[in-house]
Amino acid sequence: MDAAFKALADPTRRRVLRLLNRGEMTAGQIAEQFQISAPSMSHHFNVLKQADLISARREGQQIFYSLNTTVFQDVVAALLDLFPQEEAPSLQARSDA
């Protein structure tokens, strides 16, 4: 959980997650959206993977990344836990997460 919050702290990584929102993408497809070297992107993928926010799958030379939505649920639950529930009546998703 700690790793997930740390992973979300970086804007580049949040943008990666937003891209993967629409479906899986290869490392190269993701990287070409950024002005950052491939090794640096690879590092970001690793941080997201360590936090269990994304999964990797190799197909030939390429590696496809995709979101791990289950862990996302946990993060939202943890975030909700930080704030009073009565102040967020329309977001009372604790029982689901």
d(CA 51, CA 65): 14
Least distance CB 61 / a second copy (angstroms): 27
Q: Is residue 25 helix, strand or coil? A: strand
Tokens (6 digits) for 65: 């990344």
Number of residues counted as binding DNA (CB under 7 A): 28
**Span interacting with DNA, options 16-24, 38-46, 79-87, 89-97, rule CB under 7 A:** 38-46
Number of residues counted as binding a second copy (CB under 8 A): 31
- Determine contact, residues 63/27, Cβ cutoff 8 Å: yes
Question: What is the binding site for DNA (CB under 7 A)?
Answer: 6, 9-10, 12, 26-29, 31, 35-47, 56, 58, 60-63
